[in-house]
Amino acid sequence: MKLRDVAHSRTGDKGNTSNISVIAYRAEDFPRIRELVTAERVRAQLAGLTPSQVTRYEMPQLGALNFVIMGALGGGVTRSLALDAHGKALSSILLDMDL
């Protein structure tokens, strides 16, 4: 099962930092997401971007996790040569995680 089967995501950016929220479709799936989607697993999923730090914040009342990923955008929007300099596609990479 993929993370996308039980959750959706939103992304944002500021400089060289990406912000990715993972939101459970159903409240009953949140405990499993909380258990399996750790900062370490997110870092491994995004290893090709060589993030310097991944911090996880929990929002149980929303059934959501928020990940702040430092150093993930190739220097930031104005410095990156990436096609997706804002990192909007990073949520798709994250939602491809096996649970």
- The tens-digit pLDDT sequence of the chain (99 residues) is 999 999 999 988 888 888 999 999 999 999 999 999 999 999 999 988 888 899 999 999 999 999 999 887 766 565 444 444 445 678 888 999 999
- Rounded Cα gap, residues 92 and 37, in angstroms: 14
Q: Could you tell me if 74 and 80 are in contact, meaning their C-beta atoms sit under 8 angstroms apart?
A: yes
Q: Tell me, what CATH number does 59's domain have?
A: 3.30.70
Question: How many structural domains does the chain have?
Answer: 1
Q: What is the pLDDT of residue 13?
A: 80
Range of the domain at 49: 3-95
Q: What is the pLDDT of residue 88?
A: 64
pTM comes to: 0.86
